[in-house]
Amino acid sequence: MRRSPDDLFTIFARTSGRCHVCHGQLVYTNYGIHGARGAWHIEHSRALARGGTNHGNNLMAAHIRCNLRKGTSSTRSARAEHGKRKKPMSFEQRERALTRNTAVGAAAGTAIGAVVAGPPGALVGMLLGAAMGARREPSDE
């Protein structure tokens, strides 16, 4: 099925450019290019043969090889082969998780720094904690 660039990007962004089956990185410009690095397809999370539809949340980005391998089996069992249960986070979800990690890191750093070295320690701890939280990769197992 032909899709507009907007549709493609919406589907790509839904999993922040990662394969919804194995969570590996996809390359946006390699859509449909067999054999290219990060080549991807639009995959029906619930296969059409199993009553899935062509719209909305049933459409997910997946490596071409993951899509072909999955066939009509369930998303749950396909992801389980890679030790995954959920789809990767969307770009929006990743952004929110990063903000949350930074805030949690700052709060924890402030508390630890205050205990260790009083008010100056609290300030240093807050900055270190925020920096560590911001670097933490959002988890989406």
Summarize as ranges the residues that interact with Zn ion (CB under 5 A): 19, 21-22, 24, 63, 66
Residue number with the smallest Cβ distance to Zn ion: 19
Exposed/middle/buried for 87, CB within 10 Å: 0-12, 13-18, 19+? buried
Residues 6+ apart with CB under 8 A from 61: 11, 12, 14, 15, 17, 18, 19, 20, 26, 40, 41, 42, 43
Q: How far is the CB of 19 from Zn ion (least distance, A)?
A: 3
Q: How far is the CB of 18 from Zn ion (least distance, A)?
A: 8
Of 24 and 52, the one with the shorter C-beta distance to Zn ion is: 24
Of 45 and 110, the one with the shorter C-beta distance to Zn ion is: 45
Q: How far is the CB of 14 from Zn ion (least distance, A)?
A: 15
Q: How far is the CB of 60 from Zn ion (least distance, A)?
A: 10
Tokens representing 34?
């067999």
Of 35 and 51, the one with the shorter C-beta distance to Zn ion is: 35
Helix count and strand count (H, E) for the chain: 4, 2
Q: How far is the CB of 140 from Zn ion (least distance, A)?
A: 14
Least Cα distance to 123 among 115, 133, 134, 113 occurs for: 113
Tokens representing 21?
């089956």
Of 88 and 113, the one with the shorter C-beta distance to Zn ion is: 88
Tokens representing 43?
């995959």
Of 73 and 99, the one with the shorter C-beta distance to Zn ion is: 73
